[in-house]
Amino acid sequence: MKMEKAEREMEKKIEANETEQSEHAMEEALASHSSAPHEQTKTEQAAALQQKQELTTRRTQKHGGRKTLPFQIGSIIAGLAVGLLIGFLIGKPGGGEIAVNKNVYDGFTKAAAQNDKAAGIHFNAVTDKEVEQLDEDERIGFYSSYVRNGSYDKALQIYPDGAEKLIAQLNKKGNLNMVKNIKSTLPPITFEKAVIRHDYKKVIELKKKVVDTERRQRDYVEALIMTGDTKAAVKYVKKQKLTNIQFDMERQFNRYVEEKDISYEKMIAGLEKIRGLSE
Rounded distance between C-alpha atoms, residue 69 and residue 231, angstroms = 58
Phi then psi for residue 99, to 5 deg, are -70, 145
Domain count, the chain: 2
Q: Are residues 139 and 12 in the same domain?
A: yes
Q: Is residue 184 part of a domain?
A: no
pLDDT of residue 96: 46
pLDDT of residue 32: 41
pLDDT of residue 57: 53
Taking 70 as the threshold, does the pLDDT of residue 247 lie above it? yes
Determine the structural domain holding residue 104 and report its residue range: 2-163
Buried b (16+ CB within 10 A) or exposed e, 254-264: eebbeeeebee
Domain edge (last residue) among 163, 178, 200? 163
Q: Are residues 120 and 247 in the same domain?
A: no
Give pLDDT tens digits for 58-82: 544 544 444 444 334 344 444 444 4
Q: Are residues 35 and 129 in the same domain?
A: yes
Identity of the residue numbered 206? L
- Least confident range from 100-109, 193-202, 236-245, 258-267: namely 100-109
Q: Are residues 63 and 152 in the same domain?
A: yes
- Provide the pLDDT confidence category of residue 26 given band limits of 50, 70 and 90: very low
Phi then psi for residue 158, to 5 deg, are -85, -25
pLDDT of residue 89: 53
Q: Are residues 75 and 9 in the same domain?
A: yes
Phi then psi for residue 41, to 5 deg, are -80, 165
- Provide the pLDDT confidence category of residue 279 given band limits of 50, 70 and 90: confident
Q: Is residue 137 part of a domain?
A: yes
- Provide the pLDDT confidence category of residue 114 given band limits of 50, 70 and 90: confident
Mean pLDDT of 90-107: 65
Q: Are residues 28 and 91 in the same domain?
A: yes
Percent of the chain scoring above 90 in pLDDT: 55
Q: Is residue 191 part of a domain?
A: no
Taking 60 as the threshold, does the pLDDT of residue 171 lie above it? yes
pLDDT of residue 223: 98
Q: Would you call 277 exposed, middle or buried from its count of C-beta atoms within 10 A (0-12, 13-18, 19+)? A: middle
Give pLDDT tens digits for 120-165: 999 999 999 999 999 999 999 999 999 999 999 999 999 999 999 9
Mean pLDDT of 30-50: 48
pLDDT of residue 24: 42
Q: Is residue 170 part of a domain?
A: no
pLDDT of residue 85: 56
Give pLDDT tens digits for 176-215: 999 999 999 999 999 999 999 999 999 999 999 999 999 9
What does the mean pLDDT of the chain come to? 79
CB 243 within 8 A of CB 218: no
Q: Are residues 227 and 156 in the same domain?
A: no
DSSP 99: B
- Provide the pLDDT confidence category of residue 54 given band limits of 50, 70 and 90: low
